[in-house]
């Protein structure tokens, strides 16, 4: 069976590293992005130069109609979906909860919780044997903040990732008998651009001395964990959340 994966938020960081590694391992890749088309196109070009197959597809995962169109495009242009990586996520400037607006909290939850739910729904509709599918795999990209709570920085983001962890376990049990495995990875202290969104581009370097391995992680190290969970090598694992945190 042809391996086809949708990776949300795949224009940069962990998503881009996962897209490149998935293509290297034989997947046709849908590189989803929200706004930065040039970054997504660059990932597609890199995949194609290496002999792989990929498309760049715009969609804001928090908007139901855009998610539906995204998966319909994959149906038309790549074929029957076999894997989903829910990687798209946002955070905003570091602050305490007592400084946060409802608008900010709702933006975080819409992208980081509603988005993965909608994408997983579309994936299940295509992959579940209950719906005539042949099975598949879903990996949700969480955060070490789901365990730490990220106090004083972004408890809204951390809470959204805690919700994603709970969804991972619940959905895994819901579709385990329908040929679908659902797992998660929980990265922390990874060198990506997301820290700049929080107002501290050098956050990993500030924190790395407290990490047992005494260094920050690279996006490809998270990508390798994701690809293991997508692969048959993890065939008896579902509802599992794998920490990629340097021992933290």
The set of catalytic residues is 157
Strand partners for 243: 186
Token pair, residue 118, equals 């909608």
Backbone angles phi, psi at 202, to 5 degrees: -95, 25
Q: Which residues contact 19 (CB under 8 A, 6 or more apart)?
A: 7, 10, 29, 31, 43, 47, 54
- Supply 179's token pair: 């040929």
Residue 72: phi, psi to the nearest 5? Answer: -65, -35
194, two tokens: 């997301």
CA distance 172 to 181: 6
CA distance 115 to 110: 6
Q: Is 92 helix (H, G, I), strand (E, B) or coil?
A: coil
Distance of CA 215 to the CA centre of its chain: 23
């Amino acid at each position: 069976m042809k391996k086809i994966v949708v990776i949300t938020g795949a224009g940069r960081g962990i998503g881009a590293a996962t897209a490149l590694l998935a293509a290297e391992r034989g997947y046709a890749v849908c590189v989803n992005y929200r706004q930065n088309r040039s970054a997504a196109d660059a990932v597609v070009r890199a995949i194609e130069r290496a002999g792989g197959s990929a498309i760049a597809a715009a969609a804001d995962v928090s908007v139901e109609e855009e998610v539906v169109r995204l998966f319909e495009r994959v149906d038309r242009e790549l074929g029957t979906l076999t894997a989903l990586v829910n990687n798209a996520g946002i955070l905003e400037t570091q602050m305490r909860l007592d400084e946060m607006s409802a608008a900010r909290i709702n933006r975080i939850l819409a992208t980081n919780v509603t988005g993965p739910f909608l994408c997983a729904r579309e994936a299940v509709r295509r992959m579940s044997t209950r719906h005539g599918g042949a099975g598949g795999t879903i990996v949700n990209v969480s955060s070490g903040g789901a365990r730490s709570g990220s106090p004083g920085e972004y408890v809204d983001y951390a809470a959204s990732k805690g919700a994603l962890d709970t969804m991972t376990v619940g959905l895994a049990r819901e579709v385990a008998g329908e040929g679908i495995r659902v797992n998660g990875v929980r990265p922390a202290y990874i060198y990506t651009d997301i820290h700049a969104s929080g107002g501290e581009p050098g956050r990993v370097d500030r924190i790395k001395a407290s990490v047992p391995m005494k260094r920050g992680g690279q996006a490809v190290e998270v990508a390798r964990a994701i690809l293991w969970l997508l692969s048959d090598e993890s065939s008896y694992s579902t509802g599992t959340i794998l920490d990629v945190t340097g021992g933290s």
